[in-house]
Structure 1
Amino acid sequence: MTKTILIAALFHETHSFVEQGTFLSDFSIRRGAELLARRGDASTIDGFLEVADEEEWTVIPVNDYHAAPAGPVDHAVFVQFTNELLTALRQSLASGPLDGIWLSLHGAHVTTQSVDVEGDLLRMIRAVPGAENLPIFGVFDLHANFTELMSEGANCLVAYRENPHTDSRDMAVLSARLLARSLAEGVLPRMYTRNAPVMWAPPGTGTADRPMKDLEALARQIEGEGNGIWVANVIGGYSFSDVPSAGVAFSVATTGSTEDAMDALDRLERLAIDLRELGQPPEWDLDEAVLEIKSKSDTGGPYLIVEPSDNIGGGAPGDDTAVLRAFLRHGITNAAVAIADAEAVAGLATAQPGEKVKLTIGGKGSALGAGPLEVEGIFLRRSDGKYVLEDRNSHIVASRGVNIDMGPSAVIEVAGVTILLSSDRMAPADLGQLRSQGIIPETLKAFGIKAAVQHRRAYDKIMRGSYTVSTPGPCTSKITTLPYKRLRPNVFPFDA
């Protein structure tokens, strides 16, 4: 018989230490048939729908809330989301058999009243009469802060396994196929979790590097050993959420014994502790990195100045001027930076190509950075900021899909440095961002990257070299300098 599956999505990575909050107006919201229209857009929803079509499931699409990483979310947004979801759930249970629920989540979502949004969501679903034993499956971000409440509320949540997140759709497909397996076999896995006494800043969570590479390899080994374990998740954690569960975690979904599940978690935790120092990669002094780039030849692709402290994908404002200042200070030309500054874009609304312009850019989003910079340059062009991802497995495709909108945008040139100004923040995870604005990244000598890891898939293939630099900012890799209030005790590197 045809199975009926209810689906919903809630996606926000919440930075506890930035000034700007996140409100309903910041969310992109889809409801009902708009979720079904995501077929073909390479999102996690699209991945689920592929399996639903294969299985000939009847899909009840409820809602899909997504906002870019930023500060704590107004709790009213969560109330609205859950009211819609729980109303649909009750109606579905009342009108006929409901066979399961599939969710696309982030896992590091914090509101003004909840430090465990995903756990609270699952608890609320389970409290609906008739939903106590429904299969709940789903997919979530590798940078989640996983909790016991999440583990208790779900049967099987599957984490992305790659960072950059090139496999988000693939993991959605896997989670949906595991749901199909559960329905076909008539068995329900249960989840177990372990929060390790380790926290790494985002640059330490790239899966091409140790320690994450080693941990993912062990997780695949554990899955291959049988013992009833359907999936073993390595969770890098999100270090900028001030919550008790922040940091590295592991979870398994299993139909096997508790003892085997605990053994798997023990092995993963021990390895994380053994390799904890590797999760703190070194960073360059900004001026030293720029001067080294200046000494290089000018052909063969760009050198990257990677600035994790202004990591857009981590919730930073993406408008810091430190790297731009360094390029100008040391006379680097044929370079480029991207800065999110809607006010500066608006100030160029009447400028004509070739016109000399004077304006103040950047430095508005965080008091921790280098501050606004007044520049004089040449206006080159403007656009609506819309483009299509060149890479359908881009880091940012999971919730956004392939059609990207960074808002009205403008390009200016200052002393040989090309500056892309966008109205909305956009993580540098796809080369289409620059090319759509007339900037050819392969021809640059240097490019400033506001990211930690997510840029690698796009830029590693064209770069000549990369320098991760230490600058002040809200996504600093020096996490021991952040004012945590809720973090559990005895976590490395706070307690070495």
Structure 2
Amino acid sequence: MSAFRIAVGGFLHETNTFAPTKAEYDGFVHGGGWPAMETGADVTRKIRNINVGLAGFIDDAETNGWELVPTIWCAASPSAHVRKGAYERIATSIVDGIAAAGKLDGVYLDLHGAMVTEHFDDGEGELLARVRKVIGKDLPLVVSLDLHANITPAMVEHADALVAYRTYPHIDMADTGRAAARHLALLLGSKRRFAKAFRQMPFLIPISWQCTSVEPCKSIYAHLAELESETVPTLSFAPGFPAADFPDCGPVVVAYGKTQDDADKAADIICKLIADQENAFDGKIFAPDEGVVHAMALAATATKPIVIADTQDNPGAGGDSDTTGMLRALLKNGATKAAIGVIVDPESARAAHAAGAGNTVTLALGGKSGIPGDAPFKESFVVESLSDGRFVAPGPYFGGSQMNLGPSACLRIGDVRIVLGSRKAQLADQAMFRFVGIEPTAQSILVNKSSVHFRADFEPIAETIIVCAAPGAMPADTAALPWTRLRAGVRIKPNGPAFKPQ
């Protein structure tokens, strides 16, 4: 018997429709915090041994002896809508590559699940519809998704399985690719489909409270894993990405069962667990000054750093990673042994490099993305070190990825140090301080432009973690966003008001 031939590809983008900057094709070429774009044979040659869905799928596929037919794999940093031209160029590469692959036994795609483009609310649903049109109704099509996927009816309809990450911070992206391979193996072996159950939850969940290492998600995902069995081989809960203004934004449960009753029962059990925890999905958020003062008080007796999440300027949720609210709060309140990163400002990075290490430079730092309540911070800084921005991020989230933040520097003002970069990636790895000479474990206070992913590498070195809300593109309170297009009746925060279309 010849080996199964499986076409593979990847196209990942998390879209914050309220963010200031759209995703261009070039963003997918470079990848930001993701690996760079790969095409053709380079997809399966280079997307290996890293923490992305396709890498895990490749591992299992090769163990199974499958022949892989690669198309394209790419990802870009979260931002506003994907440009129409970028989407069409990449989607065409995937669809045409599959169409040209010859006889296939299945298709696997590594997608995000929360892509909104300039011309489609549901970027993944549209892509899967195009793929399904090319491969026909009988060929198996399985997909791995981000935990933050806004799963839509079209996605469920066109895919035979949607398999979502179960950790946030996402340390199981490759494992999810392996889970997708296992489901595909079941489809290939049985020549039958599984029944599908799809449930949309009635309230949005802020991303700060989607963390799976703390409650309530910790218990929900543990129970979800226990429910998987021969009769329900795949079960997913995606809390959603609550910054995409379209009707299908929000948390979803998807179950696949041997019978419809199997799928329905499993989905309903998880839905009840989520509904019963609605109160727990709304935690304490500090204002900038309040948070810094609290962190300084804790640091006075702490033996490890106090870590602050600058959650509203999280580049992993569409922020430009350039707001200055938390920097101002550190300086206003006299914080010492403090560091913040990454502030992305290519113009300031060029000026720091021109000034040279050891010299002082006057900058209008950050604040260039037009966020209300934010502005450039105009001051003189000591340039402590310079970097080309290239380094390896070995922590559990980036998983050994090669990073390139472009011309970068360590700036100091008072006893506060700043990681300055030219390209955005959320600060989710200790190496993102070390590459400019800041030792994170030696600081009293660390401010990370991230919401949750940083926890994977920083919880072990943190005395405690607090969440602050300085001005930024991704409000910690989902009710603060100017929603216009949600589905009627969904609550815009846990226990919040129901959305009413105008």
Scaled by the length of structure 2, the TM-score of the pair is 0.93
Alignment correspondent of 1:74: 83
Find 2:57's aligned residue among 48, 51, 59: 48
Q: Distance in 2 between matches of 1:358 and 1:301?
A: 32
Quote the offset at 1:428 in angstroms.
1.4
Find 1:261's aligned residue among 228, 252, 263: 263
Quote the offset at 1:188 in angstroms.
2.7
Alignment correspondent of 2:320: 317
Tell me which moved more, 81-90 or 139-148. 81-90
Quote the offset at 1:205 in angstroms.
0.4
* Pairing of 1:53-452 with structure 2 (within 5 A): 53-92=62-101, 95=102, 97-128=103-134, 130-224=135-229, 226=230, 228-254=231-257, 256-295=258-297, 296-297=299-300, 300-338=303-341, 339-391=343-395, 393-394=396-397, 396-397=398-399, 402-452=401-451
Kindly indicate whether the alpha-carbon contact (under 8 Å) linking 1:164 and 1:206 is maintained by their aligned counterparts in 2. Answer: yes
Segments of structure 1 that go 5 or more residues without pairing to the other structure are none
CA deviation map 1:194-250 (0-9, x unaligned)? 1110111100101122222232123223214x4x21111011100011121111110
Q: Which amino acid is the alignment partner of residue 368 of structure 2?
A: K
Q: Distance in 2 between matches of 1:83 and 1:309?
A: 34
Quote the offset at 1:434 in angstroms.
1.1
Q: 1:248 to 1:164 in 2, by over 3 A?
A: same
- 1:33 paired with 2:41, answer yes
Q: 1:361 to 1:298 in 2, by over 3 A?
A: farther
Question: SS at the partner of 2:225?
Answer: helix
Q: Distance in 1 between matches of 2:408 and 2:357?
A: 14
Q: Which amino acid is the alignment partner of residue 80 of structure 1?
A: R
CA deviation map 1:56-87 (0-9, x unaligned)? 21111000121100010112222112222222
Q: Distance in 1 between matches of 2:373 and 2:315?
A: 14
Kindly indicate whether the alpha-carbon contact (under 8 Å) linking 2:406 and 2:423 is maintained by their aligned counterparts in 1. Answer: yes
- 1:5 paired with 2:6, answer yes
Pairwise CA RMSD: 1.6
Alignment correspondent of 2:32: none
Question: SS at the partner of 2:353?
Answer: coil
Q: Distance in 2 between matches of 1:479 and 1:366?
A: 20
Kindly indicate whether the alpha-carbon contact (under 8 Å) linking 1:154 and 1:190 is maintained by their aligned counterparts in 2. Answer: no
Q: Distance in 1 between matches of 2:406 and 2:4?
A: 41
Question: SS at the partner of 1:461?
Answer: helix
Q: Would you say how many aligned residue pairs link Structure 1 and Structure 2?
A: 484
Quote the offset at 1:127 in angstroms.
1.3
Q: Distance in 2 between matches of 1:405 and 1:192?
A: 41
Segments of structure 2 that go 5 or more residues without pairing to the other structure are 30-36
Quote the offset at 1:44 in angstroms.
2.1
Alignment correspondent of 2:24: 23
CA deviation map 1:118-171 (0-9, x unaligned)? 11111111112x432111112110000001111111111211001100111111
Tell me which moved more, 178-187 or 437-446. 178-187
> Percent identity over the alignment?
29
Scaled by the length of structure 1, the TM-score of the pair is 0.94
Q: Distance in 1 between matches of 2:333 and 2:93?
A: 54
Q: Distance in 1 between matches of 2:379 and 2:455?
A: 30
Q: Which amino acid is the alignment partner of residue 63 of structure 1?
A: I
Q: Distance in 1 between matches of 2:497 and 2:260?
A: 30
Q: Which amino acid is the alignment partner of residue 285 of structure 1?
A: A
Alignment correspondent of 2:34: none
CA deviation map 1:415-467 (0-9, x unaligned)? 11111100011211111111122110000011111111111111111112222
Tell me which moved more, 342-351 or 436-445. 342-351
After TM superposition, what 4+ stretches of structure 1 lie above 6 angstroms from structure 2?
A: none
Q: Distance in 1 between matches of 2:104 and 2:295?
A: 60
Kindly indicate whether the alpha-carbon contact (under 8 Å) linking 1:22 and 1:71 is maintained by their aligned counterparts in 2. Answer: yes
Q: Distance in 2 between matches of 1:136 and 1:390?
A: 32
Tell me which moved more, 235-244 or 71-80. 71-80
Question: SS at the partner of 2:354?
Answer: coil
Tell me which moved more, 7-16 or 444-453. 444-453
Q: Which amino acid is the alignment partner of residue 263 of structure 1?
A: K
Q: Which amino acid is the alignment partner of residue 113 of structure 1?
A: H
Q: Distance in 1 between matches of 2:136 and 2:9?
A: 15
Quote the offset at 1:285 in angstroms.
2.7
Q: Distance in 2 between matches of 1:174 and 1:434?
A: 33
Kindly indicate whether the alpha-carbon contact (under 8 Å) linking 2:371 and 2:471 is maintained by their aligned counterparts in 1. Answer: no
Kindly indicate whether the alpha-carbon contact (under 8 Å) linking 2:20 and 2:473 is maintained by their aligned counterparts in 1. Answer: no
CA deviation map 1:96-131 (0-9, x unaligned)? x21000010000000011111111111111112x43
CA deviation map 1:303-322 (0-9, x unaligned)? 11212111121111111111
CA deviation map 1:231-274 (0-9, x unaligned)? 110111000111211111100122x2212222222222222222
